[in-house]
Structure formats: structure tokens, C-alpha cells
Chains A and B, each alone.
Chain A
């Protein structure tokens, strides 16, 4: 049986909290963790070293909590979703009736880039619905930019305050209503691309990209760019509206690729983050595969059509 505020809830109980001091952080996180430990529920914490250290010092038995020290877990939103799902599957198989997880996603306030994580916070309302998860996402209002706070309020159905008050978020947006944050342009896009291809096959684009990218980015990054670009070109050719164009920018340590068609792009703003249904083929599988790679992927819906932007190498902050 599930315990605490999520008692009786089915699926992911997604809750956010805001704090402005260590004392408020403590008031939010300690009861969450201690109640979970007392109930024998797995408690998983994904915070930076400082906050994890604070929590360890506050807990009666910090060894009962699973601290995630692997920073690569948050390498990309889709990878984090997939990794957590496997973790949840493990705990469910071990008989857990509720899994408590607390953390915050990368944003400038904790040294990360927030781009793409707005869609993640929306997506986990759906993709973790199969599990008895209580996700408590605590954000520091002293360091989290306003855009992060805005997204958190729009992606979490419930809000908890340091005083323990719980209420529904009046600004919550369902998946179908969710407005993602505008994608910041890459400075390279201000200049003319190295090459622009129109009507090329995916294989043809791969040949050109291989020539441009070799020596500029690590081999694994180039391989990921080739795969992601290939998927985007095939999706545009099969499901977009012609003409399909590919533009490539390059500098010594970064490659930027735009795959553009004049159609509206996928209607689902969470495309690529949600694992494809069993047996699904393109375009869901291709977009999802692209989001698993170690490259930066942005889906840009504009008046002139739909663009998949793929970046590899040193990404500007």
C-alpha cells in the first residue's frame, strides 16, 4: 500500500516544491525521505553533492537512501527517462509498493543547461504512469531562473510548500496543452551554413556529414550525429512536407545540423521522449532513438515548417 500524500494514488504522483533556504529544503525533503524509509519504500535521491551531503547529515539512517551519483544519468532527458524506468522496474520486481524519488533537473542554477528538460518534466507525467512513483521535485528559488520556475509550475500537477501545505497547481498544463520553452538559437546559425542540401537521400546526407564532421568532433559524437540526422531526413521525407532541406554548420569543435521540411511536424510535443509502443516503427521509433544519443536534439516548430536541430561537440551554454 502506498503511504503519505500519495496514498491511494495510481501511477506517478508528481509533485513540486520551492524553497529559498537550506532550512526550507530540509523541511521539504526530510519528512519525504524519513516517511519512505519508515514504510520500507525505496527512496532515491538525485541531487548535487552539496544537497546530497546536507540530506545525509539530516537523515537518521542515510544508508537507507539510494543516492544517485552518476551524473551521466542526466546526460539527456530521454536517457534519464529510460534509466529511471529501468530503476523503477527493478524496484517493482523487488516488491516495492511505492518508490519515492526526489531531485531537480539540470538548469543554470545548478550548473546545467535547461534546454529540453521542460519537455522531460511534462513527459514524466505520462511515461512513469506505469509505476507507483512519488516524484518530489524541489527547486531552489534563489538559483533557479524564472523560466525554470514557470515550467515547474506548468508541469507538476501538485505543489507542496515547506510548511507542508499541499495543493493542486493552478497553472498545470496537460500534455496536450503544454507549451515548451522556445529553443535558443545556436550562434553558428548566424553565419552561412557550410552546405545546404535539398532533396538528398539520408545516405547522401550521411556521406556529406561524414566528410564535414571528421576531425571536428569525437568519432562517437559524429556517429550519433550521422544516425540522428539520417533518422530526421527519413522522417521528413516520409512524413513531412517537401521540400526537405538539410543545412550543416561547422566549427573546429562543433557541428550543427538542421533538417527542415515545410510540414507542421509531430503534433505531440513530447515526441521522441515517450518510448514507442511495442512494435512501433517510424516515425516514433526513429525520433525516440535520436533522443537516446549523446547529441543535443531540439524540435523546432515554426511558421515556415518543422526543423530538427542536431548538435554535436562543444555546445554553447
Chain B
């Protein structure tokens, strides 16, 4: 069953929303709430970790695009972590992959982390 809420954690000073296995109309509102909570931290970038996500419908896409637009209005952006090939393809065929940057790994989605290790705990101590 879809989860009712999604955790927002700080990784290396960046809010990261962990998305569920399936994002659809039944939990898109909860995802939106989590994205708003993440945006409230005031950082320019927020990350949606979709590494577990294997299904994302139009309601999920809509929420992500709107969150990215809100972030852009504040000179920020949403970054996605996508593993699943089909989810990646959906972002490609809709052209959303050209709007919202996506990365295969969480560490790559975090800003200015090219020289830091992959562990989030260690990342938290890195200057950026």
C-alpha cells in the first residue's frame, strides 16, 4: 500500500525527500507535503531520492514539476535520484528530464560534492 508520508532528512546540509516505491494519485499529496516541508528549510537545492521508486504516474510528475518550478522561482532547483530504467524513460519521453536534473546516485545529486566520499554521514561534515 502507498505510504502516508515521506521522510525528509538533511544530508550534507541539503534536504532529501525519500520517495516510495510507487508514486501515484493516492500518495502524490503526501509527496507534495514532504516537498513543501523540505523547501521550508530555506536551502536553494532539495533532492528527491527516488532510488526505490519503480512507478511514477502523472500525479507524481505534476508534483515534482511544480516543486521544481517553486524552487526555480527562488533561484533554486529540485534534483532527482533515479535508478529504475522505466521511471527514467518516463521522465525522458515527457521531456521532464530536460527540466529537472536527475542523477543515478544520491551523492551525485548533492551540490558541490565531487570531491567528497559517498557516505551521507561523512558528507555532513564536508564544507561546501
- 9-residue interface stretch from A30-38, A98-106, A161-169, A278-286: A278-286
Interface size class on chain A is 20 to 34
23 intermolecular pairs with C-beta atoms under 8 Å apart: A202-B25, A202-B26, A203-B1, A203-B2, A203-B24, A219-B86, A227-B90, A230-B24, A231-B58, A234-B25, A234-B57, A234-B59, A238-B25, A279-B66, A280-B62, A281-B62, A282-B25, A282-B58, A285-B58, A286-B58, A286-B59, A289-B94, A292-B93
Q: Are A79 and B59 in contact (CB under 8 A)?
A: no
Chain B 60-81, CB-CB to A under 8 Å as 1, else 0, gives: 0110001001000000000000
- Cβ contacts under 8 Å, B69 to chain A: 279
Q: How far is the CA of A280 from the CA of B22 in the complex (A)?
A: 21
User: CB within 8 Å of B: which residues of A?
Assistant: 79, 82, 86, 201-203, 206, 219-220, 223, 226-227, 230-231, 234, 238, 279-282, 285-286, 288-289, 292-293
**With the chains together, A79 CA to B93 CA distance in Å?**
8
B89 within 8 A of A: yes
A157 to chain B: closest CB distance in Å? 28
Contact B57 A203, beta carbon cutoff 8 Å: no
Given known contacts A202-B25, A203-B22, A220-B86, is B95 in contact with A285 (CB within 8 Å)? Answer: no
Task: Provide the bound-state CA to CA distance between A282 and B61, in Å.
Answer: 11
B95/A82 in contact, CB under 8 A:
yes
With the chains together, A86 CA to B99 CA distance in Å? Answer: 14
> How many residues from B make CB contacts under 8 Å with A?
20
Nearest 9 pairs between A and B by C-beta?
A286-B58, A223-B86, A285-B58, A292-B93, A281-B62, A289-B58, A234-B25, A230-B57, A285-B62
- Residues B57 and A231 in contact, CB atoms below 8 Å apart: yes
Distance in angstroms from A301 CB to nearest chain B CB is 22
Q: A220-B86, A223-B86 are in contact. Are A203 and B58 (CB under 8 A)?
A: no
Q: For the complex formed, measure the closest distance between the CB of A50 and the CB atoms of chain B, giving whole angstroms.
A: 30
Q: Which residues of B contact A281 (CB under 8 A)?
A: 58-59, 62
14 more A-B residue pairs beyond the given contacts A223-B86, A238-B25, with a C-beta to C-beta distance below 8 A: A201-B26, A203-B1, A203-B2, A203-B24, A220-B86, A227-B55, A227-B57, A234-B57, A234-B59, A281-B62, A282-B58, A285-B58, A285-B61, A288-B58
